[in-house]
């Protein structure tokens, strides 16, 4: 896999000036050392598409508090959607929350009924933390997905609905068991055309191998997709087994592979 990755200075907290060693500027004797801001990894996908990954975005205890609250209080449902031309249960639970007056969200033959932000104070708390980390950003809705078992998944797709415009910024906050989140370059029109001349469906796998970028979504991580990512890349989180680090033996959610991923649009 070929990719370009670089670390960037975070916008939160203070950063020592280049070449300064020892105490940070302004730090006094006996003064408590400021915690280091979360590390950010930036991947340039090319063509104006960028992904920002913050593996340790939410503090561990707070992440579990939010996970438990969302798992208990969100009115999760599993609607029927169109998969390869047939309707069947969506392979994950979902809930949609949006600003009042926002255009309805429709995907795969399903129209999602929007809840109000005021119904879920915990979502406002999460959104506040995301906005503090992403100055200048604005999000008007959230699509919550819950993967209850290792068999739940979201197949190859792009969040390029007209509702979001040509270059939406999408921030994903993850809680629970780790999962791989994969992006790959979309095929050209000629590649996306089958031998029979019929255009390939948007939400299905492409036969030709494409360049892929994989991100491990840890408990409390943040992943941001910017620019033309939804136009130039397809993304998925396939069914997988639980991933439990040896130093995280207190992961209660991993006993039944619970995983919740939240997309802020």
- DSSP-derived pairing of the beta strands 93-98 and 114-115: parallel
160 among annotated binding-site residues: yes
Q: Which pair of structure tokens corresponds to residue 212?
A: 């892929």
Whose CA is closest to 236, among 187, 182, 185? Answer: 182
DSSP 8-state class, residue 126:
H
181 among annotated binding-site residues: no
Whose CA is closest to 109, among 229, 181, 231, 203? Answer: 203
DSSP 8-state class, residue 226:
E
Whose CA is closest to 188, among 232, 253, 243? Answer: 232
- Between the alpha carbon of residue 58 and those of residues 127, 133, 155, the distances in Å are 12, 11, 26
145 among annotated binding-site residues: yes
28 among annotated binding-site residues: no
Q: Which pair of structure tokens corresponds to residue 165?
A: 């415009």
Whose CA is closest to 152, among 81, 94, 92, 204? Answer: 92
219 among annotated binding-site residues: no
Q: Which pair of structure tokens corresponds to residue 74?
A: 């969100």
Q: What count of other Cβ atoms lies within 10 Å of the Cβ of residue 70? A: 21
Q: Show Cβ contacts of residue 51 under 8 Å, excluding neighbours closer than 6 positions.
A: 42, 43, 45, 183, 213, 215, 223, 224, 225, 226, 229
92 among annotated binding-site residues: no
228 among annotated binding-site residues: no
Total number of residues shown for the chain: 265
DSSP secondary structure, 229-250, as one string: HHHHEEEEE--------TT-TT
Binding residues, by number, are 84-86, 145, 147, 157, 160
Which residue positions form the known binding site for 2-oxoglutarate?
145, 147, 157
Task: Cite the annotated binding site for substrate by residue number.
Answer: 84-86, 160
């Amino acid at each position: 896999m070929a990719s370009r990755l670089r670390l960037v200075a975070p916008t939160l907290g203070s950063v020592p000036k280049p070449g300064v060693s020892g105490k940070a500027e302004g730090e006094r004797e006996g003064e408590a050392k400021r915690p280091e801001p979360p590390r950010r990894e930036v991947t340039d996908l090319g063509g104006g598409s960028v992904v920002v990954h913050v593996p340790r975005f939410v503090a561990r205890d707070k992440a579990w508090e939010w996970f438990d609250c969302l798992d208990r209080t969100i009115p999760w449902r599993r609607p029927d959607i169109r998969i390869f031309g047939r309707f069947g249960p969506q392979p994950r639970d979902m809930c949609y929350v949006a600003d009042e007056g926002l255009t309805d969200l429709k995907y795969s033959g399903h129209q999602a009924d929007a809840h109000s932000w005021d119904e879920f104070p915990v979502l406002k708390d999460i959104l506040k933390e995301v906005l503090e980390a992403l100055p200048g950003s604005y999000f008007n809705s959230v699509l919550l997905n819950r993967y209850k078992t290792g068999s739940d998944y979201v197949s190859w797709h792009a969040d390029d609905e007209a509702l979001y415009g040509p270059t939406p910024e999408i921030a994903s906050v993850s809680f629970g068991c780790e999962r791989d989140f994969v992006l790959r370059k979309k095929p050209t029109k000629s590649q996306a055309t089958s031998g029979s001349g019929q255009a390939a469906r948007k939400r299905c796998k492409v036969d030709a191998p494409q360049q892929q970028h994989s991100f491990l979504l840890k408990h409390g991580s943040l992943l941001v997709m910017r620019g033309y990512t939804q136009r130039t890349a397809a993304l998925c989180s396939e069914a997988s087994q639980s991933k439990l680090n040896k130093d995280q033996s207190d992961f209660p959610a991993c006993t039944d592979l619970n995983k919740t991923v939240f997309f802020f649009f």
